[in-house]
Amino acid sequence: MNVLEIKNLDVTTPAGVKVVSGVSFSIAPGARLGLIGESGSGKSLTALAVIGLLSSQLKASGSVLLGDLNPQEILGAPERMLNTIRGKVASIIFQEPLTALDPLMKIGRQLAEPLRRHQGISGDALESAIIEALTEVRITNPARIAQSFPHQISGGERQRAAIAMALACQPSLLIADEPTTALDVTVQSEVLALLDSIVSERNMALLFISHDLAVVGQITDSVVVLKDGVVVESGSLQEIMADPKHPYTQDLVKNARVLDDALNIAKDGK
Amino acid sequence: MNQVKSRRSWSLIVGLVIISTITLVTLISLVWLPYPIDNTDGGRLSPPSWSHLLGTDKLGRDLVARLMVGARIALSVGFSAVLIAGIVGLTLGMAAGFAQRWLDESLSALLDILIAFPTLLLAMLIVAARGSSLTSAIFAIGLGMSAIIARLTRLLVKRVLAKDFITASRASGTSWPRIIVLHVLPNIWPTLIVSFALQFGLAGLAEASLSYLGLGAPPPNASWGSLLQEAQATVMTSPIAAIAPGLFLVALVIGVNLIADGLREIADPTLRRSR
Ligand SMILES: Nc1ncnc2c1ncn2[C@@H]1O[C@H](COP(=O)(O)OP(=O)(O)OP(=O)(O)O)[C@@H](O)[C@H]1O
Ligand SMILES: [Mg+2]
């Protein structure tokens, strides 16, 4: 059974525009999938649909089944049922860690909320679970970070804290919506490496969203290419790199190649 | 950082000192006044003396006694009106902020009407229904204030709900009641508290204009606002009768605002950094 199974997902705006149309893909337990597409292609809406967080103004139809042991239909499900799934079966990391954290709440307290709810702990046990969670995402000074407000720590630390929150309820599927786009390049690769190792250690499934084929290539082995809300191509990364069928994918591959070559030239020049 | 911190606690401390003094005067007025409030033995418009520290008004009533009763009225009008606005305004505002479109739109229309409706007219209607008393004035002021607080609350709630951290919190399975307690209330509070403080001060002024029209506290009780207006005619001969209530009114407004400012900076850590 798959941990996520999307069939014929349509998302329609109040104006009647189909911004996601006929999207289908699935992820097996422990598998990784890259969802790639340009800005406005419907990547984030697809991710939100997966955990039932589409704005009420948007109409979604089709089917989203979440969970491998006991798959549940997400579309049209009541909030109460969704709350039992969110965080535990699937959780999500957002692009901009500054806005994804409450500015008025210390990192430790924000992290405490899902930990407390999921593990039913409090007091000292909760305190040490917070430190442990921050350590797992390789924050070097967990005690200080736990006592800090989001504006007092660096962008990389914020994204690590957000990852720790997403991991708190031990989800079987992690959705990462452009988790490194807002970070600078060195921090980007650290966060990617972190995600890579945590996802393997915990044996989680990963849906990694990006507009950058090179970034997706570092962390997943198969991809779905989205353009204007439609899946134009999907398959293993190797297949797509070797023989892109759709003109948009050909462009993506060409650009990734150019970047690659530039990097190689730079390396050889040294 | 330390400098900023001390400045913040200063505003809170000064504000608390001012408001505690006014509260103390109010408490004393309940058990002791230098003269009964309707005692007119002091002679008309007598200047300050040992027997009448701030002199008397044009009917011969002791000004200190009248100011002390005025403190009582200022505080009870302020607190009661803010309490009404806190309950009615916050509830309506939260409801509109969370509501689906049609309910939100009808609530907003109702609030717009209430805000456009002058407090004075509202007060006249309430007085017509319940008779003239301080309570009627408080209801009128409180209801007018509720509309303002409700509209602000609605706006603040909508703004917070659109933030990514609400989506992130929902994505981790937090229920709505919990989100309201953890994220919505703390995030709207810093702005609301300042508005409440402003309204608290304005309530005193609103009561003064209602008293002026005979819609407020019935004589011989008088708010600082009405003392100020009574003293207008004789301001040249006895300026102290206008200056004293004026100073108290200003002190009340400043005191409440200082407290609000201090509380706001405690509630919002992002303000502590760079100011
Ligand atoms: N609430 C909404 N109402 C109407 N249209 C919306 C709404 N949310 C998103 N859209 C539209 O849907 C389309 C897809 O949006 P989405 O956020 O999924 O894009 P994306 O692929 O994530 O882009 P980006 O890479 O910039 O994040 C966009 O054209 C966007 O304008
Ligand atoms: Mg997006």
pLDDT in tens, A148-206: 999 999 999 999 999 999 999 999 999 999 999 888 888 889 999 999 999 999 999 99
Output the residue whose Cα is nearest ligand 1's atom 30: A40
Task: Determine, for residues A162 and B168 on separate chains, whether the beta-carbon distance falls below 8 Å.
Answer: yes
Q: Is B47 contained in some domain?
A: no
pLDDT number for residue B275: 42
How far A251 CA sits from the closest chain B CA (Å)? Answer: 32
Nearest CA in chain B to A87: B172
Output the residue whose Cα is nearest ligand 1's atom 31: A40
pLDDT number for residue A54: 94
Over range A228-236, report the average pLDDT: 93
- Count other C-beta atoms under 10 Å from residue A9's C-beta: 24
pLDDT number for residue A269: 57
Are A124 and A134 in contact by the 8 Å Cβ rule? The answer is: no
pLDDT number for residue B57: 78
Task: Determine, for residues A117 and B268 on separate chains, whether the beta-carbon distance falls below 8 Å.
Answer: no
Which strands make up the sheet holding A4-12, listed edge to edge?
A18-27, A4-12, A59-66, A72-73
pLDDT number for residue A69: 86
Using 50, 70 and 90 to split pLDDT, how confident is the model at A253?
confident
**Which chain B residues are closer than 8 Å to A85 by Cβ?**
173
Q: How far apart are CA A219 and CA A151, in angstroms?
A: 29
In one-letter notation, the amino acid at residue A1 is M
- The token pair that represents A16 in the structure block: 């009647």
The burial of A253, by beta-carbon neighbours within 10 Å (0-12 exposed, 13-18 middle, 19 or more buried), is given as middle
**Which chain B residues are closer than 8 Å to A103 by Cβ?**
165, 187, 269-270
The number of distinct structural domains making up chain B is: 1
Distant-in-sequence, close-in-space partners of B59: CB < 8 Å, separation ≥ 6: B40, B44
pLDDT number for residue B223: 81
Task: Tell me the backbone φ, ψ of residue A68, rounded to 5 degrees.
Answer: -90, -35
**Which chain B residues are closer than 8 Å to A56 by Cβ?**
100
Q: Which residues of chain B have pLDDT under 50?
A: 1, 274-275
**Which chain B residues are closer than 8 Å to A87 by Cβ?**
171-173
* pTM of the full structure: 0.85
CA atoms within 13 A on the CB side of B226: 23
Give the torsion through C-alpha atoms of A86, A87, A93, A96, to 10 deg.
Answer: 80
With an 8 Å Cβ cutoff, the interface of chain B facing chain A consists of 100, 163-165, 167-176, 178, 182-183, 186-187, 267-270, 273
Are A82 and A74 in contact by the 8 Å Cβ rule? The answer is: yes
Q: How far apart are CA B147 and CA B113, in angstroms?
A: 9
Nearest CA in chain A to B99: A56
Q: For residue B187, give the 3-state DSSP assignment.
A: helix
- The token pair that represents A70 in the structure block: 């006991």
Q: Is B182 contained in some domain?
A: yes
Q: Is B210 contained in some domain?
A: yes
pLDDT number for residue B90: 95
Over range A208-218, report the average pLDDT: 91
Are A135 and A160 in contact by the 8 Å Cβ rule? The answer is: no
Peptide bond before residue B220 is cis, with ω within 30 degrees of 0: yes
Place of tokens 């301080």: B134
Task: Determine, for residues A149 and B270 on separate chains, whether the beta-carbon distance falls below 8 Å.
Answer: yes
Ligand 1 lined by A227 (C-beta under 6 Å) = no
pLDDT number for residue B208: 75
Ligand 1 lined by A56 (C-beta under 6 Å) = no
**Which chain B residues are closer than 8 Å to A102 by Cβ?**
165, 169, 182-183, 186-187
Q: How far apart are CA B231 and CA B237, in angstroms?
A: 10
The winner for highest mean pLDDT among A22-26, A209-213, A249-253 is A22-26
Over range A211-233, report the average pLDDT: 92
Ligand 1 lined by A42 (C-beta under 6 Å) = yes
The CATH number for B229's domain is: 1.10.3720.10
Ligand 1 lined by A211 (C-beta under 6 Å) = yes
Q: How far apart are CA A49 and CA A135, in angstroms?
A: 31
Q: Is B9 contained in some domain?
A: yes
Q: What percent of chain A has pLDDT over 90?
A: 75
Over range A203-213, report the average pLDDT: 94
| Domains of chain A as residue ranges with CATH | 4-269 (3.40.50.300)
Q: Is B121 contained in some domain?
A: yes
Q: Is B50 contained in some domain?
A: no
Output the residue whose Cα is nearest ligand 1's atom 22: A44
pLDDT number for residue B7: 64
Distant-in-sequence, close-in-space partners of B43: CB < 8 Å, separation ≥ 6: B56, B60
pLDDT number for residue B4: 55
Place of tokens 């060409």: A254
Residue A55 has pLDDT above 60, yes or no: yes
Task: Determine, for residues A165 and B172 on separate chains, whether the beta-carbon distance falls below 8 Å.
Answer: yes
pLDDT number for residue B1: 45
pLDDT number for residue B201: 80
How far B267 CA sits from the closest chain A CA (Å)? Answer: 8
A41, A213, A227: which to mutate for ligand 1, most atoms within 8 A of CB? A41
Q: CA B73, B75, B81, B87 torsion: positive or negative?
A: negative
* Region of poorest pLDDT, from A2-6, A50-54, B43-47, B249-253: B43-47
Query: How many beta-carbon pairs below 8 A join chains A and B?
Result: 80
Task: Determine, for residues A117 and B167 on separate chains, whether the beta-carbon distance falls below 8 Å.
Answer: no
